[in-house]
Amino acid sequence: MANEVAKKNETFALVTGTEGMTEEAKAELEDELDDLDDDTGIMARAIKMPSGSVKAFSIEGATEDDAEVVKEFDGVILFTHRINAYWPTAISDTGAGTPPECSSFDGKTGLDISSGEMKQCATCPHNQFRTDGTGKECKNMRRVYLLRSGQSVPYLLSVPPTSMKDFTKSLKQIMAGSTGYTHMVLTFGLKDSVSKGGIHYSKLTVRKKADLSDDQAKVVEAIRKTVKEQYKTVAITSGDYDSDVTPAATSDTSGADAYERPDEFTDASGKPEDLPFA
């Protein structure tokens, strides 16, 4: 693997949506977009993980009736960050789009919306593994902002707790050659997994497909900067964590096969700036 020559991208079409436009037309379009709402933040379309053992993603289209269902897709990661979210009651009882009582945009410091208190995730009792091995009350997830071929709008994929360990491990291995994820095309897929409680569910997979050209990588880096400046404007809701996607903790008595433990992280010092676990 280490001696393989990286395949160059020949099919991934990286677009910004302003190809062929004059500088004046670009400026006018940006000005008109600013008129709509300057507090919107990142306008990203959602990529949803499947429920149960279904092996297909649901990718949001231009309209609600225009969703695309695919078994795998290619994309270039713009930015990824950890999020934590705690709901005191089951999401099924609170309804879709419900914000968590406490949430964190970096997996380190959380904000309790009821008290306004800032909490340290490492010592929070809700963020500890249960003694019976059934995971945590607080949901540890990862958001992945990415671009798809031929699309100028970014997409947002939320990695559930059950896929965190494998996804992070795979991305680290892919980047072992000192190439940042913004410089490559990745293929996202699904594989079947079974909890200790016998529940079938899909785990997220990722593999490298090709390297971007230097010119494409520069475009991605510019978009990445914008996303990093605005990612905290995208509120964490129950849409990030789907109870149908992640097996209930009471159904999985192992803990280790479905949830990522802190000791599984490695030292990232001396590696590329855009490591996925920074």
Alpha-carbon distance of 274 to 278, in angstroms, equals 8
Q: 54 or 157: whose pLDDT is higher?
A: 157
Range of the domain at 194: 40-83+146-246
State mean pLDDT over 86-109.
84
- Domain assignment of residue 278, yes or no: no
Which of 7-16, 103-112, 130-139, 252-261 is modeled with the greatest confidence? Answer: 103-112
- Domain assignment of residue 30, yes or no: no
State mean pLDDT over 28-45.
61
| Lowest mean pLDDT across 25-34, 123-132, 245-254 | 245-254
Q: What is the pLDDT of residue 125?
A: 95
- Domain assignment of residue 104, yes or no: no
- Domain assignment of residue 219, yes or no: yes
- Domain assignment of residue 176, yes or no: yes
- Domain assignment of residue 182, yes or no: yes
Q: 222 burial class (0-12, 13-18, 19+ CB within 10 angstroms)?
A: exposed
Q: What is the pLDDT of residue 62?
A: 85
- Domain assignment of residue 236, yes or no: yes
Res. 226: pLDDT tops 90: no
Q: 123 burial class (0-12, 13-18, 19+ CB within 10 angstroms)?
A: exposed
Hey, how many other C-beta atoms are within 10 angstroms of the C-beta on 251? 14
In this structure, are residues 98 and 91 in contact, taking their beta carbons and an 8 Å threshold? yes
Hey, how many other C-beta atoms are within 10 angstroms of the C-beta on 193? 17
Residue type, 148: R
Res. 193: pLDDT tops 80: yes
Res. 1: pLDDT tops 60: no
Q: How confident is the model at residue 71 (pLDDT cuts 50, 70, 90)?
A: very high
State mean pLDDT over 118-128.
95
**Mean pLDDT of all residues in the chain?**
79
How many domains, the chain? 1
State mean pLDDT over 32-38.
50
In this structure, are residues 247 and 199 in contact, taking their beta carbons and an 8 Å threshold? yes
Residue 8 DSSP one-character state = B
Q: What is the pLDDT of residue 241?
A: 80
- Domain assignment of residue 221, yes or no: yes
